Amino acid sequence: MTHPRARRDDLVVQDLPEETLVYDVARHRAHCLNRTAALVWRRCDGRTSVAELARCVGRETGLPPDEEVVWMALDRLSKANLLENRIQPPKGAPRSRREVLKKLGAVAGLAVVLPAVQSIEAPMAAQAASPITMVACQQAPQAHAGKCCMDTSPRRICVNVGGVGMCAGGLC
């Protein structure tokens, strides 16, 4: 896929001076795109080629107009499900920041402008609530499922298994 297209549906987007926040309503994941990643994402209209994207990134960020940088951004955006289709970087393309930095050479400040996407899973309401006791989880599993049990070691999430409450979910 050399003409990537950005996803536009089911997304909430907010721009910061140097970054872009994206909330994926379908997957309940939130992403923070740095300036370079956001620039590539905005230009992915299905008509612009990777080579053109590289020239654009070079103009706007001062990075070398190298396709490797664009492939890196597309890889990050694809993993965050922010493109219409999954992309597969060409064979031999550097995948990690370290590899890209090595290829582009050590330039001051380069690491900061390389494309980056940070992601989190939005919490379910119960996950952002106060913790409960194991007894409360057992007594009222429907009400407390998803909350953190404070008195288990390690602390685990209260789960409702067929009406029985157990502090046996993931670590919290």
Partner 1 sequence: MCYSAYGRRIGIRVNRSEVLDRLVHRLPAGWKPAPSPVVDHLYSIWMGGEGPRTHVRRYHLVYSDGMQVARTLDPEEALEAFESAQHFYVAEAARNRLFVHAGVVGWRDRAIVIPGRSLTGKTTLVAALVRAGATYYSDEYAVLDARGRVHPYPTPLSMREAGADRPRKVPAAALGGTAGLRPLPVGLVLVTQYRAGSRWRPRPLSAGQAALALLANTVAARRRPAAALATLRRIASGASGIRGPRGEADAVAPAILNLGRAGARPCRPPA
Question: Which residues of the chain form contacts with partner 1 (CB under 8 A)?
Answer: 12, 14-21, 23, 25, 28, 30, 32-34, 112, 118, 120, 122-132, 135-136, 139-140, 142-144, 148, 150, 155, 172
Q: How far is the CB of 133 from partner 1 (least distance, A)?
A: 8
Closer to partner 1 by Cβ: residue 20 or 78: 20
Name which of 50 and 80 has its Cβ closer to partner 1.
80
- Least distance from C-beta 63 to partner 1, angstroms? 15
Between 23 and 55, name the residue whose CB sits nearer to partner 1. 23
**Contact indicator for 82, 6 with CB cutoff of 8 Å:** yes
Task: Tell me the C-alpha distance between 79 and 98, whole Å.
Answer: 18
Name the β-bridge partners of 24: 11, 29
Using alpha carbons, select from 7, 125, 110, 15 the residue that is nearest to residue 63.
110
Provide the residue count of the chain.
Answer: 172
Minimum CB–partner distance for residue 25 and partner 1 (Å): 6
Is the Cα torsion angle 44, 48, 49, 54 positive or negative in sign?
Answer: negative
State the Cα angle at 94 between 54 and 108, rounded to 5°.
65
| Distance of closest approach, residue 1 Cβ to partner 1, in angstroms | 27
Residue with Cβ nearer partner 1 (17 or 162): 17
Nearer to partner 1, 92 or 125 (CB): 125
Smallest distance from partner 1 to CB 39, Å: 14
For residue 81, the Cα-to-chain-centroid distance in whole angstroms is 8
Consecutive H or E run containing 2: none
Give the tokens for residue 31: 């992403």
